Amino acid sequence: MDTGMDTERTESEAESSGSERPESDRPESERPESETAKEPRAGRLPRAWRHPRLRWPKRIALALVLLLILPALGAGIALRVNYAGDPGPGTQTRNRDALWLGHAWIDGRKDDTDVQALAEQLRDTGIRDLYVHAGPLEHDGTLPKSAYPQADWLIGAVHRELPGVRVQAWLGDVLASEGPEGMRLEREETRAAVVGSTEQVLGAGFDGVHFDLEPLHSDDDDYLLLLDDLHAVTQDRGVPLSVAAHQIDPFPAANSIRGALSGHPKWWSQAYFGQVAGRVDQIALMSYDTAMPLESLYGGYVAQQTSLALEVTPESTDLLMGLPFFHEDDLSHHGNAETVEAAVRGTRLGLSRTDRDRERFGVALYVDFAAEESDWAAYREGWVS
């Protein structure tokens, strides 16, 4: 601590010298304004910081700012570096891609002309699966048959126009993991009802079932129990069980810190992602709504997520990386940053670095009713061509 002893002189010393005190030794109140405005000498804190009542609050504030800024700066640099370089050759479609379709396809708003236009859009792409919104599920896990009145028509039309493309029932609901309302997976009767709803839609002719339950916190064992029961049903029928998955914790403790600050944990641990992936036939990582402000940071983030997911997804499971086929601007999604181009490039970079020859791999396009032609063009040019 600087006590100021090097500049202090007593009045008696000044008088005994027989001369007037120099400007540097005068009290600050007697010194010219131009002198007091000078920068502090090297090694000394500004005077305001040395005031007994201001010193520690300001130091603490600076420490807190640095704690927030430095990790964010380091993470940003790492993501930008992760986006550098060129994707390896052959890191494009394996013809295992998917597309999320809205409820309009099975509630009577679409007709044969729409299916023909869809077939024209998808022809010569890598899309093999259509996730058609057939829910939502009730909070108790049941599903009214009135939710998908035109399912039989759509399934038949797609099979006719796009042979080999599977039509999966997209089911989901809000979980009561962050509030009083929603589905409660801890209830055995609720999980049993979800299994019953799965048998119901498969009986209606769907080629598989795709689940999106949110917000689903990492390490939820009840979800794993549900997946075990669901997989037994789908395996018995020879159809795929597919799920939409949360992003993976980008660095240790990130999820815990976010959860403590916001009450809304965003990520799954890498280990939990692997546990889920091992219980399904297809897992689609929702690699959008990242809050990234720049395209390069978003692309680097997708590259990192791709690598993390590849490391723990079994070879027997299809891993799909989500592409943002929608355009919004809010706190979680910046349309100018989360582009299809950046997502495709990030996906290819992650695939190149981690498992270039991975066969059971693709991308999933979210969502048909919000997509623009530029999104389709970017998908075709970056991933299909």
Per-residue pLDDT of the chain (385 residues; tens, 9 = 90+): 444 444 443 444 444 444 444 444 555 555 555 444 444 454 454 554 455 554 566 556 655 555 555 455 556 677 768 899 999 999 999 999 999 999 999 999 999 999 999 999 999 999 999 999 999 999 999 999 999 999 999 999 999 999 999 999 999 999 999 999 999 999 999 999 999 999 999 999 999 999 999 999 999 999 999 999 999 999 999 999 999 999 999 987 655 555 444 556 889 999 999 999 999 999 999 999 999 999 999 999 999 999 999 999 999 999 999 999 999 999 999 999 999 999 999 999 999 999 999 999 999 999 999 999 999 999 999 999 8
Count CB-CB contacts under 10 A for residue 298.
27
Q: Per DSSP, which regions of the chain are E strands?
A: 97-101, 127-133, 166-174, 208-214, 241-245, 282-285, 318-324, 361-366
Identify which of 70, 88, 86 has the alpha carbon closest to the alpha carbon of residue 78.
Answer: 70
> Distance between CA atoms of 271 and 313, rounded to whole angstroms?
10
> Distance between CA atoms of 120 and 156, rounded to whole angstroms?
16
> Distance between CA atoms of 322 and 302, rounded to whole angstroms?
9
**CB neighbours of 82 closer than 8 A, spacing ≥ 6?**
300, 301, 303, 304, 346, 349
**Helix or strand or coil: residue 243?**
strand
CB distance 134 to 147 below 8 Å: yes
Pairing between strand 241-245 and 208-214?
parallel
pTM here? 0.80
- pLDDT, tens digit, for every residue of 100-152? 999 999 999 999 999 999 999 999 999 999 999 999 999 999 999 999 999 99
Q: Which helix (H) or strand (E) holds 255?
A: helix 254-262
Pairing between strand 318-324 and 361-366?
parallel
Provide long-range contacts, Cβ within 8 A and 24+ apart, for 372-380: 372/325, 372/327, 374/340, 375/323, 375/325, 375/340, 376/121, 378/339, 378/340, 378/341, 378/344, 379/125, 379/323, 379/325, 379/340, 379/344, 380/125
The residue with tokens 């623009």 is 372
Tokens of 148: 């998908």
- pLDDT, tens digit, for every residue of 11-59? 444 444 444 444 445 555 555 554 444 444 544 545 544 555 545 665 5
> Distance between CA atoms of 235 and 131, rounded to whole angstroms?
18
Instruction: Say if residue 163 is preceded by a cis peptide, omega within 30 of 0.
Output: no
